[in-house]
Amino acid sequence: MGVIGSPGLTNCIGGCGNEFPAGSGCGYGSLSPWIAGIKSGSNMLVSTGGPWPNHYENRHELFPSNAPWDSLYIVQKGDTVDIPFYKNNYTAKSNEDIIGHYNDYSITSVPNHVPMGIDIIQRTYTWTGFEFIVHRLSVVFKNNISDVWLGMFGNMAIGCAGGPGNTEFGWFDEERKLAIYESNDPSAVGPTMIWLIPESGNESTKYTWLDGAGPYSVDSPPDNDADRYLFMSAGNIFHDEIQSTGYGHYLYSVGPFQAQAGDTLHYTISQIYGVHMTGVEKNYQTLKKIVEQNYRTPSPPPRPPLKVSVSSHQVNLNWEIGVDDRNPETYTDSYRMDNEPTPFAGYRVYKSSTGLAGPWTLLAEYDRTDDQWDNNFGLSYSYSDKGLLNNFNYYYTVTSFSKPDTIMNLDSQESSLASNAVIAVPGTAAPKNVGQVIVVPNPYLGDQKYYNLSPPWEGKSIIGDWTEEYRRIQFVNLPNPSTIKIYTLNGKYVSTIEHSIKMINDQSNYGGTSDWNLTSYTGQAVSSGIYLFTVEDNSGSIQNGKFVIIK
C-alpha cells in the first residue's frame, strides 16, 4: 500500500513500526511516497499511500493489483528470481531485498481521489550490520504528466515505550539535502536522517522541505489535490532553523520533472539511524560510499551447512563443509575496500527457547587463529547442547562472520541468523514398531498457560498473542513413518496426522514426535472429552490408546 513503518494498518501483522534498535520499543514514525503532477494541462493531482490511518493524512490511494503474483518478494543476496512486474530477472543487491509493486488506479472507490495513472515498483534494501534502510522507487507513467514532483511525507514521531512522546525536533541540512530529526526523550537511542536522492538527471531539480510553515502546516495538510499539489511543489525550504513543534511531520520532495506516457522516473529515500548524532553521521558516510558503488557492498560469508540430530536430553549441531556445499572459509568479496583475500573470520552458535525469530543467546564462537581479530579460539564444526528437557522445542542457528573492513570503517559482517535457524526436539530415538506411543500432556488442561513454561510448551504469534491454533498435544515414541488417527469416545472421526521425518545420515532433529493443535479435519477446535487414537506403523501393526482434554 506504499506505507512504510505504519503500525496502525489493520492488515499489518506483527507490527510494522520503524523500531531502532530492534526490540527496544523505540519507534521512529512512518512515511509514504507522495507523487504530484499536472494531467491534461491543468488538472493538479497527487497520489499517496498515507502514511497512517485514523488521522487527517488517511489518504490510502496506492494498492497492489488483484493479480495473484502481485505480492512482496523477498530475495537474499546472491539469489536471482523472476518477478512478473520486473522486466528482467531480479538479483538482490543487499543481504535481503524486499520488492513490491502498487499503483494509484486499481481501487476506484477512494474518496476525493483522481488517479494520475502511475505504477510504482519499490525495492527496499536491508543489510546485516548496517543501521540504515534504502527504498528505491521507480514511478511508471501511463499518461503524459507535466511538472512532476516526487516526494515522501512522514511523521517522525520519535518515542520509546513509557517515554514522554511528541518531543522530537527537526531541521533541514540544505547543503547535503538531509532531513534530520532528534528527540528530547532521554530513552531514545539517537536521531534519524531522511535522505532523498533524485535519480532522473534533471539539472533544474528543486527541493521542497516543509515543516510546520507555509500556507498549510504539515500538522494539517490540505485534503484536496489542487492544494496538495501547491503544497508539495512550493520549491522552497519552509522551516524554522530548529523546528520544535513536538510533532515531526514533514514533506520532502524533489522536482519538477516532465514525464511522457511510458516514461519512468526514479528516486530513493533512505532512513539512517545510529546511536547519538556521531553514530548517525558515521552511518550516513558509510551509506554515501555504498551509493557511490551502486549499492554493491561487502557481504558476510555464506551461511554454514547446518545439520541437526537429537538424542535423549541432547541436541547435536554439525556444520562440516561438504563437497557440494558453499564454503564460507574460501569466499571472496570484491566489494571490500581493504582487498582482503581471505575475509572469513569464524562461526557463531546461537540458541533460543522462544522461536525461529529469536531472541538469540550466543552459545559459542569459533574463530581462526591466524589473524589479529576476535579471540583466536580456533575453528570447530560441531556443538552439543546437553541437559535439555525431552520433547520440548528448542531453536538453534549457526552463522559465519567476516573480518572488519578497516578502510571502509565497516564492522564484521555476519550471515543471517534467521536463514539458518532450525527447530530441534530432543528425545529418545524413534522405535521401529508401535507399542510405546504415549500422549503428553495427558490430561490436557485448557486453563493452563503452557506458553509460560520455560521453554514454552505452546507458542504465540509474532505479535505475542496466543490463540486456539497454538494448542499442542504431542504423540511421543512414534515409529518413522506412521499414521495417527484420532476419534471421539463414540467413534466419530476427528483428524489424521501423517508422521514422516526426513532422515539425514540416519539422524533427525526430531525424536519420534508429532504435534496436534486440537483442531478437527474441518479446522474446528475440539471440545472437552475422552479421545481415542490409533497409530499404525509401516508394517501394518496398530497401537490403540486414549487421552483426555479438559477445557
The burial of 424, by beta-carbon neighbours within 10 Å (0-12 exposed, 13-18 middle, 19 or more buried), is given as: buried
Q: Within 13 Å of residue 472, how many CA atoms lie on the same side as its CB? A: 18
Q: How does residue 140 score in pLDDT terms, banded at 50, 70 and 90?
A: very high
C-alpha cell of residue 118:
502511475
The pLDDT value given to residue 31: 84
Q: How does residue 27 score in pLDDT terms, banded at 50, 70 and 90?
A: confident
| Distance separating alpha carbons of residues 312 and 507, to the nearest angstrom | 13
| Distance separating alpha carbons of residues 297 and 150, to the nearest angstrom | 27
Residue ranges of the chain that CATH labels 2.60.40.3110: 438-550
Q: Within 13 Å of residue 429, how many CA atoms lie on the same side as its CB? A: 6
Q: Which top CATH class is 26-292?
A: mainly beta
Listed range (215-224, 290-299, 424-433) with the worst mean pLDDT: 215-224
Calculate mean pLDDT across residues 88-117.
Answer: 89
Cβ 197 vs Cβ 267: under 8 Å: yes
316 φ/ψ angles, rounded to the nearest 5 degrees? -115, 125
Maximum average pLDDT range among 51-55, 115-119, 460-464: 115-119
SS (H, E, C) 387-418: CCCCCCCEEEEEEEEECCECCCCECCCECCCH
The pLDDT value given to residue 287: 92
Distance in angstroms between the alpha carbons of the first and the last residue of the chain: 41
| DSSP notation for 255-282 | EEEEE-TT-EEEEEEEEE--SHHHHHHH
The burial of 147, by beta-carbon neighbours within 10 Å (0-12 exposed, 13-18 middle, 19 or more buried), is given as: middle
Calculate mean pLDDT across residues 113-118.
Answer: 91
| Residues forming a β-bridge with 548 | 530
Residue ranges of the chain that CATH labels 2.70.98: 26-292
CATH T-level fold of 438-550: Immunoglobulin-like (2.60.40)
| Distance separating alpha carbons of residues 135 and 5, to the nearest angstrom | 12
Q: How does residue 392 score in pLDDT terms, banded at 50, 70 and 90?
A: confident
Percent of the chain with pLDDT over 70: 86
CB neighbour list of residue 87: distance below 8 Å, 6 or more residues apart: none
Helix, strand, coil tally for the chain in percent (to 5): 5, 40, 55
Cβ 170 vs Cβ 180: under 8 Å: yes
Residue ranges of the chain that CATH labels 2.60.40.10: 307-424
What CATH number does domain 307-424 carry, 2.60.40.10, 3.90.650.10, 1.20.5.510, 3.90.230.10?
2.60.40.10
The burial of 148, by beta-carbon neighbours within 10 Å (0-12 exposed, 13-18 middle, 19 or more buried), is given as: buried
pTM of the model: 0.64
